[in-house]
């Protein structure tokens, strides 16, 4: 039997810390097993991606338990700051790095993080990114050979269609409350829509950046939105399904997104999306032009987001077109088997799917 080792952050299954990366890792593992691979799961304790002595010691011990010549996929949250652990093992193991986010290339990233991450990316046998945008970043930002980079976009399990309400007033945002996710941008946009009928439910962890959450919470009070904006904290998959079923529109206010799994999760239910034209979000949204599944707005621009939301709330024809586009995009979404096949292309070297240099670009939604 084909087998591989999956090295993940120890918090990947923490119900209080759900994330797109964690869901990707787990659904990928399930799909690999479905394709006939035996997957050895290794959770490494530590506050990854933060580099700590105990975390590095745990990673060292984990990797030394893996036999020589084994195929190993290491989550980038663990690997990005562990060059001094991974590089000495590069000749003993066949290592593929799974990049959910190039940590050293995000705005205001520490140069030490970029240096360490670059060393790891250039040394491993293969690199898998979760979007074409991220692959381009890895190649251009770190000088990684494009022939060693593969793209494995997240799959989407098609869910029951969400009917939506006629007025489209139920807004949903699914993201941890951190500066990159842009809840402050969302609140600033919603403040300008007080003359319209709407509610917004924000789902996601509140304690990842406690000071930021305190500022966002204060912002809700200061903008007099306490009766219209609700923060639920993290939810179980079943409870999140209930929120999706009640949603009319997914709103993504992020400053930075590698792909945006929540976009494909919404589209898998036929829910339109308003999101920033940043990172891999256009890839997730798809290419249908003005009749697409959603609207792209400039990142970090509350006024543009407010304009897009106002049009959604006040133009029934616009809502109908976006809903039709979302349902069309739903029929195009690939499942997790395709994601797993792309990952196996990297770890086996077999051309199951195209390398990054062979992929076409241009997946774009309608821009505001």
What number is the average pLDDT over the span 255-273? 96
Full residue range of the structural domain in which residue 281 is found: 170-330
Cross-strand pairs, 72: 5, 95
Q: Which position has the token pair 């920033």?
A: 276
Cα 118 to Cα 141: distance, rounded to the nearest angstrom: 8
Handedness of CA 175, 178, 182, 186 (dihedral sign): positive
- Claim to verify: residue 277 and residue 206 sit in the same structural domain: yes
What number is the average pLDDT over the span 8-35? 93
- Claim to verify: residue 213 and residue 324 sit in the same structural domain: yes
Q: Could you give the number of structural domains in the chain?
A: 2
Q: Model confidence over 332-368: pLDDT tens digits?
A: 999 999 999 999 999 987 755 444 444 433 333 344 4
| Token pair of 287 as six digits | 């290419």
- Claim to verify: residue 125 and residue 36 sit in the same structural domain: yes
- Claim to verify: residue 198 and residue 271 sit in the same structural domain: yes
154 CB-near residues (< 8 Å, 6+ apart):
20, 24, 27, 130, 259, 261, 264, 284, 336, 339
- Claim to verify: residue 352 and residue 218 sit in the same structural domain: no
Cα 142 to Cα 151: distance, rounded to the nearest angstrom: 16
- Claim to verify: residue 210 and residue 276 sit in the same structural domain: yes
- Claim to verify: residue 277 and residue 323 sit in the same structural domain: yes
| pLDDT of 349 | 78
| pLDDT of 356 | 47
Task: Check which CATH number belongs to the domain holding 273 and give it.
Answer: 3.40.50.2000
For the chain, how many residues are written?
Answer: 368
Rg (CA), the chain: 20
Q: Quick check: 75 pLDDT over 90?
A: yes
Q: Rounded to two decimals, what is the model's pTM?
A: 0.90
| pLDDT of 287 | 67
- Claim to verify: residue 284 and residue 353 sit in the same structural domain: no
């Amino acid at each position: 039997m084909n087998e591989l080792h999956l090295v993940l952050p120890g918090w990947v299954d923490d119900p209080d810390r759900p994330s797109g990366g964690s869901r990707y890792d787990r659904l990928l593992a399930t799909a690999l097993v479905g394709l006939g691979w035996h997957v050895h799961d290794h959770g490494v304790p530590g506050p990854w991606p933060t580099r700590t002595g105990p975390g590095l010691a745990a990673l060292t011990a984990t990797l030394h338990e893996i036999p020589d010549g084994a195929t190993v996929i290491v989550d980038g949250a663990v690997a990005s700051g562990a060059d001094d652990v991974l590089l000495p093992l590069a000749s003993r193991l066949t290592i593929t790095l799974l990049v959910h986010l190039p940590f050293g290339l995000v705005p205001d990233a520490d140069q030490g993080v970029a240096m360490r991450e670059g060393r790891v990316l250039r040394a491993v046998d293969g690199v898998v990114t979760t979007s074409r945008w991220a692959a381009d970043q890895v190649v251009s930002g770190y000088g990684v050979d494009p022939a060693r980079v593969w793209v494995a976009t997240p799959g989407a399990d098609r869910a029951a269609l969400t009917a939506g309400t006629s007025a489209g007033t139920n807004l949903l945002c699914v993201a941890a409350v951190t500066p990159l996710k842009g809840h402050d941008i969302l609140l600033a946009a919603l403040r300008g829509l007080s003359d319209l009928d709407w509610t917004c439910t924000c789902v996601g962890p509140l304690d990842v950046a406690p000071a930021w959450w305190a500022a966002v919470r204060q912002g809700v009070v200061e903008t007099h939105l306490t009766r219209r904006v609700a923060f639920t904290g993290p939810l179980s998959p079943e409870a999140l399904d209930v929120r999706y079923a009640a949603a009319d529109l997914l709103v993504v206010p992020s400053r930075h997104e590698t792909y945006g799994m929540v976009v494909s999760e919404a589209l898998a239910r036929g829910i339109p999306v308003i999101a920033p034209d940043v990172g891999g979000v256009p890839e997730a949204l798809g290419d249908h032009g003005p009749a697409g599944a959603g609207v792209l707005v400039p990142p970090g621009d509350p006024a543009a987001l407010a304009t897009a939301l106002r049009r959604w709330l006040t133009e029934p024809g616009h809502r109908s077109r976006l809903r039709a586009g979302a349902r069309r995009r739903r029929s195009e979404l690939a499942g997790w088997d395709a994601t797993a096949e792309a990952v196996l292309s990297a770890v086996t070297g077999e051309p199951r799917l195209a390398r990054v240099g062979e992929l076409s670009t241009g997946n774009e939604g309608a821009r505001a």
